[in-house]
Chains A and B, each alone.
Chain A
Amino acid sequence: MAGVRDKVAIIGMGCTKFDEHWDKSVNDLVVDACYEAFDDAGVEPKDIQAAWWSTAWSGELGIKLAYPLKLNFIPVTRIENRCASGHNAFIDACYAVACGAFDLVLVCGAEKLKDTGLPIPGVSDPVELYTSRVNPRFLAVSAYAQLALRYFHHYGIPIEKGKRILAKIAVKNHYNGSMNPKAQFQRKITLEEALNAPIIAWPLGLYDCCGITDGAAAAIITRADLAKNYRDDYVLVKGVGLSCGMYHPQVQDDWSVTYVRENVAASKMAYNEAGIKDPRRDFDLAIVHDCFTIHELVIYEDFGFSPRGKAKEDVEAGTFELKGELPVNTDGGLKCFGHPVGASGLRTMYEVYKQFQGKAGQRQVEIRNQRGITHTCGGNPLESHAAGVVILGLRGV
């Protein structure tokens, strides 16, 4: 397998503020994010040869990207893999560039959730059981609550102690988000606030859950050997991974529901390609899918940052804080940056891209390893997931 390592470069990115954009349509958000990316890359919309469009619910067909941008009859592919749509679209665009089919392509993700309150049919429907509609419906938060319950049970963590660990993650992400002008929630919170927040799905409280948000993000990518024609501080794709589960948490009766196997598989795939040997030390930062705090806790272990069952000790030690050993979700994560589903994958890359270019302001982390990992993950622990990972890096690594 040839892969994409060092064959593809990001030369421009854009990202709207993630917010409740009462005054903007999805088309407005797409135009804002893409034109920021065009300007950043120094390209014109007419230079784009093909495009990938990532959205879960905000527009079927590629025309929903072609129309606002007037993309002039080029190929546009719509990708949907729920919350991993952005990673999936980006990865597929990388394959197209790496194989030489196109030299300059656009990837855009957007979601408009606040027009309809909560349109998420995320009240889930088991794949093959969909149309009979007899099976129970539940919200993603309920499924992650069950992951939390099983995780705590499995590692003998009393619920109250478990809630404190999760609260620390929320406090960290709010701290990071408070320094991000594009984040939905720019406010620090205290441990007590997090612990005393209303319960959403026991044991998860308000601050264990990410926002419901409107937003768009975009990337312009090109062949690595052409990247220097656009800018010096382009960012290379080092490795990619994508993994889909099989409803195993329900169908396989001995499945533990204490971790997310798809995270393990997608990260391994990307690590192999990028040559990552020691994930805890090889990255300058990690932007991961903290849709619920319990998921971020589990990701620490799924990605090999912490040994199994030991992530809580790293949380206590501040390992993943902004000044810690491996800063995670420096931009505030889904928790504070918000989660416009189809846009979130590209938003994670936007943060790593800006950090590598030294443009992260107060949130700037030290760039030593010149590698960062990004991740989004759709689905939930009762149905299984689609997980996407993209490792970005600078030249010469």
Chain B
Amino acid sequence: MVGVVSYGAYIPIWRMSRELMGKGLSGERSVAGKDEDSLTMAFAAAMDCISEIDRCTVDGVFFASTTSPFQEKSAAATIAAALDLRSDVFVADFAGSLKAGTSALKAALNIVKAGSARQILVTAADCRLGAPGSICEQTFGDGAAALLIGNEIAADLEAEHSVFDEIYDVWRRDIDLYVNLWEDRYIYSCGYLKVVKEAVTGLMSRTGVNTKDVAKVVFSVPDPRRGVELARNLNFDPKNQLQNPLMDVVGNTGAAQPLMLFAAALEESGPGDRIVLASYGSGSDAFMFKVTEGVKRLKERKRGVKAYIARKKMLRDYITFLKWRKLIKIPEPRIDMSVSYPSAVAIWRERNRIYPLHGVKCKVCDTIQYPPQRVCIKCQSKDNFEEVRLCDKKGKLFSYSFDPLRENVPVGLINLEGGGRILLELTDVDAEELKIDLPVELTFRRVDLRREDGMYVYFWKATQIRT
């Protein structure tokens, strides 16, 4: 059988109360940090998903998003590199529609079913922009989910069914910064309610399973009321069967939403449960999964959706959100932090020490050193090292500092468990939370370079461990 081996999620720590966007609005939405984008969030979800998996058994990495940081350059390849996977792994990027996440899922399921890969890691993330003040800005949220598809399973695939739909309901042209919407009554009656119903009805008729025998239905949900209406139209009980769309705590995470909600459903499921999953975006992909005994062992070792919802920090003001998304132009600080372009050559040459954060261990004196050295700092042995991956090590903050000239972004020396020391920026922490010996873990983030530097570069930062 083919199905879901493991799941993972990532929700950025930052939330914005909708009150900040408009008086009387309720709930909050997640906001990607200044140094986060769909690539870094997908990577974080991937780490959550495969934390206990032997990485040698992953044969493919998919990345699905409508907001890849690159129009041309594979984010899946960056994710595979940072995961330290073999070079003969198949990578692919899925884009173009809010059902990109389930498109990637469907492709993965079928590739594994066909026997051309053992396991494929499907990641999906979105960080969509609605125009300031728009309903989109208020209802969108940023986040990611990951599913590992394979044969040793937590949820078996029982059936799948897809439909496509040509419609201008929600779109963004190549020249648009913000998502466009047509009138919502049109979207729901001619698009969402009709198309998802068609996909799920097709799915149910393929399986012959009665709607009463489904434990949970997971839909893409742009608007919670419409999700309820859709469930009702399909003969599901919205109260007991419909997965909470998390609109009041996270928001609509776009291409990641169906996978994230599916992960949330798995977290709460038990062996034998049937879960129906259906996305929406220029059509709909519908799936039926049956949860197996395997789901139990997963629950203990994941952060998953629940834990990520629980850990949060509130944005102080709306302008911070605009600044982080670079929606308002702030003059560059007088001290130019980026005095020259990053060199693509150097990034390529140093890819092992950058993406999976490889250091070296001296074969003579065992000293772990970062970055990789030719000559040992302790015993001066030359070219006698083995590479070691440091990005999944936890550590302790050895020293730290921050200054207003650098916008109080803390920088510190981290001593890693098992040896090795690295100087990193700290992220998602307030300066007041810092102290010597603070337990930290490493997180993959985008480096804040000037826009005119022409590329995004990614590197590791340290953050306080929050369970």
Chain A residues engaging chain B, CB cutoff 8 angstroms:
117-118, 121, 123, 126, 128-139, 141-143, 145-146, 149-150, 153, 200-202, 246-253, 255, 257, 382
Would you call A146 and B413 a contact (CB within 8 A)? yes
Partner of B421 from the list A117, A131, A250 (CB cut-off 8 Å) is A250
Instruction: List the B residue with the shortest CB-CB distance to A143.
Output: B401
Would you call A121 and B339 a contact (CB within 8 A)? yes
Instruction: List the A residue with the shortest CB-CB distance to B340.
Output: A133
- Besides the known contacts A133-B457, A136-B411, 14 further A-B residue pairs in the complex with CB atoms under 8 A apart: A117-B335, A123-B336, A123-B337, A129-B350, A133-B338, A134-B354, A134-B459, A146-B399, A146-B400, A149-B436, A150-B399, A201-B401, A250-B423, A251-B377
Known contacts A139-B405, A150-B399, A253 near B419 by CB under 8 Å:
yes
Q: List 12 contacting pairs A-B, 8 Å CB cutoff, sorted by A.
A: A131-B345, A133-B346, A134-B447, A138-B411, A139-B403, A142-B402, A146-B400, A149-B436, A247-B377, A250-B413, A252-B421, A253-B416
Q: Check: B420 CB closer than 8 A to any chain A CB.
A: yes
Would you call A251 and B370 a contact (CB within 8 A)? yes
Would you call B371 and A257 a contact (CB within 8 A)? no
**How distant is the Cα of A252 from the Cα of B422 in the complex, in angstroms?**
9
**How distant is the Cα of A248 from the Cα of B413 in the complex, in angstroms?**
12
Chain B residues engaging chain A, CB cutoff 8 angstroms:
334-343, 345-347, 349-350, 354, 367-371, 373, 377-378, 398-406, 411-413, 415-416, 419-425, 431, 436, 447, 449, 457-459
Would you call B342 and A132 a contact (CB within 8 A)? yes
Chain B hits for A150, CB < 8 A = 398-399
**How distant is the Cα of A212 from the Cα of B336 in the complex, in angstroms?**
16
**How distant is the Cα of A382 from the Cα of B423 in the complex, in angstroms?**
8
Instruction: List the A residue with the shortest CB-CB distance to B339.
Output: A121
**How distant is the Cα of A248 from the Cα of B378 in the complex, in angstroms?**
9
Instruction: List the A residue with the shortest CB-CB distance to B347.
Output: A132
Instruction: List the A residue with the shortest CB-CB distance to B419.
Output: A253
**How distant is the Cα of A25 from the Cα of B399 in the complex, in angstroms?**
40
Chain B hits for A141, CB < 8 A = 401, 403, 405
B160 CB to nearest chain A CB (Å): 41
Chain B hits for A257, CB < 8 A = 398-399, 413
Would you call B347 and A134 a contact (CB within 8 A)? yes
Chain A hits for B458, CB < 8 A = 134
Partner of B350 from the list A132, A137, A139, A382 (CB cut-off 8 Å) is A132
**How distant is the Cα of A143 from the Cα of B411 in the complex, in angstroms?**
9
Main secondary structure of the interface of B (DSSP, over half): mixed
Chain A hits for B336, CB < 8 A = 123
Chain B hits for A128, CB < 8 A = 371
Q: Which of A131, A246, A247 has the most CB of B within 10 A?
A: A131
Would you call B457 and A134 a contact (CB within 8 A)? yes
Instruction: List the B residue with the shortest CB-CB distance to A149.
Output: B399
Known contacts A201-B401, A202-B402, A132 near B436 by CB under 8 Å:
no
**How distant is the Cα of A44 from the Cα of B294 in the complex, in angstroms?**
90
Partner of A202 from the list B345, B401, B420 (CB cut-off 8 Å) is B401
**How distant is the Cα of A132 from the Cα of B354 in the complex, in angstroms?**
9
B437 CB to nearest chain A CB (Å): 9
**How distant is the Cα of A201 from the Cα of B404 in the complex, in angstroms?**
7
Chain A hits for B419, CB < 8 A = 253
Would you call A145 and B334 a contact (CB within 8 A)? no
**How distant is the Cα of A135 from the Cα of B406 in the complex, in angstroms?**
14
A172 CB to nearest chain B CB (Å): 24
Give 8 closest A-B pairs by Cβ, nearest first: A201-B403, A253-B421, A131-B346, A145-B401, A131-B343, A134-B459, A132-B346, A146-B399
Would you call A123 and B425 a contact (CB within 8 A)? no
**How distant is the Cα of A133 from the Cα of B341 in the complex, in angstroms?**
8
**How distant is the Cα of A153 from the Cα of B401 in the complex, in angstroms?**
14
B62 CB to nearest chain A CB (Å): 25
Would you call A246 and B377 a contact (CB within 8 A)? yes
A383 CB to nearest chain B CB (Å): 9
Chain A hits for B345, CB < 8 A = 131
Instruction: List the A residue with the shortest CB-CB distance to B462.
Output: A136
Q: Which of B350, B405, B425 has the most CB of A within 10 A?
A: B405
Known contacts A118-B335, A149-B399, A201-B403, A136 near B378 by CB under 8 Å:
no
Instruction: List the B residue with the shortest CB-CB distance to A122.
Output: B335
Chain B hits for A131, CB < 8 A = 340, 342-343, 345-346
**How distant is the Cα of A128 from the Cα of B336 in the complex, in angstroms?**
21
Partner of A251 from the list B341, B347, B373 (CB cut-off 8 Å) is B373
Partner of B406 from the list A137, A146, A202, A251 (CB cut-off 8 Å) is A137
Instruction: List the A residue with the shortest CB-CB distance to B334.
Output: A117
Instruction: List the A residue with the shortest CB-CB distance to B351.
Output: A132
**How distant is the Cα of A249 from the Cα of B399 in the complex, in angstroms?**
11
Chain B hits for A130, CB < 8 A = 346
Instruction: List the B residue with the shortest CB-CB distance to A250.
Output: B423
B452 CB to nearest chain A CB (Å): 14
**How distant is the Cα of A130 from the Cα of B341 in the complex, in angstroms?**
11
Known contacts A128-B371, A145-B403, A136 near B424 by CB under 8 Å:
yes
Partner of A135 from the list B339, B343, B423 (CB cut-off 8 Å) is B423
Instruction: List the A residue with the shortest CB-CB distance to B355.
Output: A134
**How distant is the Cα of A371 from the Cα of B412 in the complex, in angstroms?**
40
Would you call A129 and B406 a contact (CB within 8 A)? no
Chain B hits for A138, CB < 8 A = 401, 406, 411
**How distant is the Cα of A95 from the Cα of B350 in the complex, in angstroms?**
40
Would you call B400 and A252 a contact (CB within 8 A)? no
A78 CB to nearest chain B CB (Å): 21
B341 CB to nearest chain A CB (Å): 8
**How distant is the Cα of A134 from the Cα of B345 in the complex, in angstroms?**
13
Chain B hits for A252, CB < 8 A = 367, 369, 377-378, 421
**How distant is the Cα of A132 from the Cα of B455 in the complex, in angstroms?**
11
B321 CB to nearest chain A CB (Å): 24
Chain B hits for A202, CB < 8 A = 401-403, 431
**How distant is the Cα of A200 from the Cα of B404 in the complex, in angstroms?**
7
Chain B hits for A253, CB < 8 A = 367-369, 415-416, 419-421
**How distant is the Cα of A127 from the Cα of B50 in the complex, in angstroms?**
35
A195 CB to nearest chain B CB (Å): 18
A142 CB to nearest chain B CB (Å): 4
Would you call B411 and A142 a contact (CB within 8 A)? yes
Chain A hits for B335, CB < 8 A = 117-118, 123, 139
Would you call B343 and A133 a contact (CB within 8 A)? yes
**How distant is the Cα of A118 from the Cα of B339 in the complex, in angstroms?**
12
A26 CB to nearest chain B CB (Å): 20
Chain B hits for A143, CB < 8 A = 401
Would you call B413 and A382 a contact (CB within 8 A)? yes
Chain A hits for B421, CB < 8 A = 250-253, 255
Partner of B412 from the list A121, A137, A146 (CB cut-off 8 Å) is A146
B458 CB to nearest chain A CB (Å): 7
Q: Which of A118, A132, A146, A202 has the most CB of B within 10 A?
A: A132
**How distant is the Cα of A247 from the Cα of B404 in the complex, in angstroms?**
25
